[in-house]
Structure 1
Amino acid sequence: MKKTINIVIAAAFAAGLAATQASAEIKLGLDTAPYPPFADQDASGNRTGFEIELGNAVCEAMGETCVWTPIAWDGIIPALTSGKIDAIFASMSITEERMKTIDFSDKYYNTPAALVAPKSMDVDGSPESMKGKVVGAQISTIHANYAEKYYKDVADSIKVNYQGFDEHNNDLVAGRLDAVIGDSLAFSDFLNSDVGKDFEIKAYLKDEAIFGKGVGVGLRKGDDELKAKFNEAIAKVRADGTYDAIAKKYFDFDIYGE
Structure 2
Amino acid sequence: MIKALLVLVLLGLAFPGLSAPVRGETLRIGTDARYPPFAYFTAEGRLTGFEVDLGNQICDSLDAVCQWVDIPFGQLVRALRDGRIDAVMASFAITEERRRLVAFSAKYYSTPIRFLADRAETAPITADSLAGRRIGVVIGTTHVDHLLRTYGPAVKPTLFETQGEMLEALVAGRLDLVLADGLGLWHFLNTPQGAGFAWIGNPLYVDEGIGVAMRSGDTDLVERVDAAIDRLLRNGTFLRVNSRYFPFNIY
Structure 2 length normalisation: TM-score?
0.87
Amino acid at match of 1:108: Y
Partner of 1:29: 30
Partner of 1:181: 179
Between the aligned partners of 2:105 and 2:225, the Cα distance in structure 1 is: 6
Partner of 1:255: 250
Stretch deviating more after TM superposition (226-235 or 45-54): 45-54
Between the aligned partners of 2:54 and 2:169, the Cα distance in structure 1 is: 31
Alignment partner of 1:235 out of 230, 247, 250: 230
Closer, same or farther: CA 16–142 of 1 in aligned 2, 3 Å: farther
Between the aligned partners of 1:52 and 1:203, the Cα distance in structure 2 is: 31
Partner of 2:142: 142
Amino acid at match of 1:250: Y
Amino acid at match of 2:100: K
Indicate if the aligned counterparts of 1:112 and 1:204 stay in contact, CA closer than 8 A: no
Amino acid at match of 1:87: A
Partner of 2:10: none
Indicate if the aligned counterparts of 1:137 and 1:147 stay in contact, CA closer than 8 A: no
Indicate if the aligned counterparts of 1:122 and 1:129 stay in contact, CA closer than 8 A: no
How many angstroms does 1:152 deviate by?
4.5
How many angstroms does 1:212 deviate by?
1.4
How many angstroms does 1:124 deviate by?
2.9
Show CA shifts across 1:174-215 (max 9, x none).
2221110001110123222232211101123435xxx31100
Closer, same or farther: CA 120–17 of 1 in aligned 2, 3 Å: farther
After superposition, where does 1:27-176 map in structure 2 within 5 Å? 27-31=28-32, 33-155=33-155, 157-160=156-159, 162-176=160-174
Between the aligned partners of 1:173 and 1:202, the Cα distance in structure 2 is: 16
Amino acid at match of 2:25: A
Between the aligned partners of 2:101 and 2:169, the Cα distance in structure 1 is: 32
Alignment partner of 1:202 out of 200, 209, 220: 200
How many angstroms does 1:34 deviate by?
1.1
Closer, same or farther: CA 107–88 of 1 in aligned 2, 3 Å: same
Indicate if the aligned counterparts of 2:74 and 2:140 stay in contact, CA closer than 8 A: yes
Residue 180 of structure 1 aligns to a residue whose secondary structure is strand
- Aligned positions, number: 235
Residue 69 of structure 1 aligns to a residue whose secondary structure is strand
Indicate if the aligned counterparts of 2:102 and 2:213 stay in contact, CA closer than 8 A: yes
Partner of 1:190: 188
Stretch deviating more after TM superposition (124-133 or 163-172): 124-133
Amino acid at match of 2:31: L
Between the aligned partners of 1:204 and 1:95, the Cα distance in structure 2 is: 21
Between the aligned partners of 1:254 and 1:22, the Cα distance in structure 2 is: 31
Structure 1 stretches of 4+ moved >3 Å: 14-18, 21-24
Alignment partner of 2:208 out of 190, 200, 213: 213
How many angstroms does 1:167 deviate by?
1.1
Between the aligned partners of 1:17 and 1:150, the Cα distance in structure 2 is: 61
Closer, same or farther: CA 215–15 of 1 in aligned 2, 3 Å: same
